[in-house]
Amino acid sequence: MAIFDYLFVASSSVLILSGLAIVGMAVRAYRQTANRALIHLSLGFSLVVAAAAVTTISALTLDFTNAKSLLLINSGFTSFGYLFVFYSVITY
């Protein structure tokens, strides 16, 4: 792997781990408060984490071929995830 690949994996790993931490905190807060906005928050960040994970795995296994498709899928999942985050903030 080239240095670019290592940097891509490192930055994606930070995004995935921090996103999972937020999901975990939102689920724990939901259990304590039963506030439904926290479910939307955790679902939104789960989609963002899924986008990062799928894009990273796909990009490395496909050797970054079909980059436009990868970016479209990443952008779609991330946008949909942030819509859930936005909805959770509005409904709170």
What residues does each domain of the chain span? Answer: 3-91
Kindly report, residue by residue over 56-84, the tens digit of the pLDDT.
Answer: 999 988 888 888 999 999 999 999 999 99
Mean pLDDT of the residues in the chain? 94
Instruction: Say whether pLDDT at 30 is over 80.
Output: yes
Q: Which tokens hold the place of 35?
A: 């506030």
Averaged pLDDT for residues 85-90: 96
Contact status, residue 5 vs residue 60, Cβ threshold 8 Å: yes
The pLDDT score that the predictor gives to residue 78 is 96
Percentage with pLDDT > 90 across the chain: 79
